[in-house]
Structure 1
Amino acid sequence: MNNYVSYQLQDFIPFSADVYFRLLERINETWWPLHLLGLALGATALVLALKKRERLVWLLIAPVWAFVAVVFFMQYYAQLNWAGHYVGYAFLAQAILLLLLALAGFSRSKVSAANTSAVANSRPAAVAIGLGIALTGLLALPLMATLSGGGWWQAQVFGIHADPTAISTLGLALMLLRGWRLWLVACIPMLWLLLSGLTLWVLQATEAWLLFAVLAAALVGIAVLCRYPEKKA
């Protein structure tokens, strides 16, 4: 029993900060300029979310999650951590979930007239928080690499790397979804951000605090929406 108690968080991270950030560089060097397409898809999804075109948003985002699952996790991250393949399967499950959500055509508009005022009260706050989170994934996280001295080749970009993809998807979910569908879509992104945040914290990377801040903001947004449970028409 004492042997298990003696373990610390860093004992579960089988790589150093230098190795991890070199992995990011390798991914960026290999897949450039696909980053531009990823950013374009993310920006397009954000514009569509503001217009409440939910089905199109998830149709755009689902292939991105599948790409990150196969390329980021199974081809690269799994070289550092044996659990990378399993996380990749979780990202593939998220891609399938988003595709099913798009095909099913779930919409926040499917609420009763009696609940319209509740939606009106909750939506602006949720959209504001979600918009801020989505922009964090698209812009703030990539910029942090240069601000911390890592350079552009260590920048994490939506559609290529896991962290910005999870962050922006979480923001889009807050903008578009309510009730159990929000929890369903937000579960895997939030779990990954927690795991990645803890990993980066052990590696003493400044990005860890940004991931923790995103998690806190997302929980606030979900709490705001939970005040107004969705009612069927």
Structure 2
Amino acid sequence: MSEWNSYQIQDFVPFSADVYFRMLERMGETFWPLQLFTLAVGVAALLLALRGKSRIALLLLAPVWVFVGVAFFAQRYANLNWIGQILGWVWIAQAALLVLLAATGRGTAGPVESHSANNITGVLISLVGLLMFPLLAPVLDTSWTQAEVFGLHPDPTGVVSLGIFMIALRGWAQWLTCLVPLLWITLSALTLQVLEAPWWGALFAVAAVAVGSLIGQSRVVLARPGR
């Protein structure tokens, strides 16, 4: 036990900030201008979820999760950290779950009310993923190729998907699909903290707000008559 107590978070991050951010940049350079298409997919999925077309929104997200699982985790992140291969399979499994839910309609939400607290939270979280990460490039005075974008990089993909799941799904399906993005967002926030990236706190905030909203909605459902 004392041996484990000697470890710190940085002992589990086997790469430097320069190496990690260069990997993110090369991801953007390799697939440019695919970012424009994936951003459009993210916006479309969000709008479809808000209009109650949850099953179509989930189908749009599924190939994005496969792409990030293979192109980012299996082919790139795995070269820096052995857990990359495992994460790749986890993201592919998440994509399969989305297809299953879309095909069966289990746990999907119908037309939603725009003033619903959980839906408003979902929209705000999705917008953080769609807008904040690309805008970090000019804010930090770096090139656009270094910008993280939904559909290519896991952080914005996880954040946007988390927001959409909060809108498009309900009950056990919502909790199950939110689990993977929540775990990745937390893991990424810890990694960025070690790498001294200034936006790591924003990821922790997203995870905390999402969990709080999910718990709040669960309590409302349990408190309804007949439950």
> Common fold, TM-score beyond 0.5?
yes
Deviation at 1:228, TM superposition (A): 2.3
Aligned-partner SS, 2:221 = coil
- Provide the residue aligned with 2:119 in structure 1: 127
Structure 2 distance, partners of 1:52, 1:39, is 20
Cα deviation digits, residues 167-188 of structure 1 (max 9, x gap):
0110001112221111011000
Aligned-partner SS, 1:229 = helix
Cα deviation digits, residues 74-95 of structure 1 (max 9, x gap):
1111111111000111101100
Equivalent of 1:216 in 208, 215, 222: 208
Cα deviation digits, residues 92-132 of structure 1 (max 9, x gap):
1100000001001133349xxxxxxxx97x96101110000
How large is the RMSD of aligned CA atoms in angstroms? 2.1
The reply to whether residue 150 of structure 1 matches residue 142 of structure 2 is yes
Q: Residue type of the partner of 2:103?
A: L
- Aligned length in residues: 224
- Provide the residue aligned with 2:59 in structure 1: 59
- Provide the residue aligned with 1:108 in structure 2: 109
Matched-pair identity in %: 49
* Counterparts of residues 1-233 of structure 1 (less than 5 Å): 1-106=1-106, 107-109=108-110, 124-229=116-221
Q: What TM-score do you get using the length of structure 1 for normalisation?
A: 0.90
Cα deviation digits, residues 184-232 of structure 1 (max 9, x gap):
1100000000101100010010221111111011012102211222789
Structure 1 distance, partners of 2:141, 2:185, is 22
Q: Which ranges of structure 1 fall in alignment gaps of 5 or more residues?
A: 111-118
Structure 2 distance, partners of 1:205, 1:141, is 13
- 4+ residue runs of structure 1 moved beyond 4 angstroms? none
Kept after mapping to 2: 8 A contact 1:166/1:189:
yes
Q: What TM-score do you get using the length of structure 2 for normalisation?
A: 0.93
Q: Residue type of the partner of 1:130?
A: G
Structure 1 distance, partners of 2:66, 2:57, is 15
Aligned-partner SS, 2:76 = helix
Q: Residue type of the partner of 1:108?
A: A
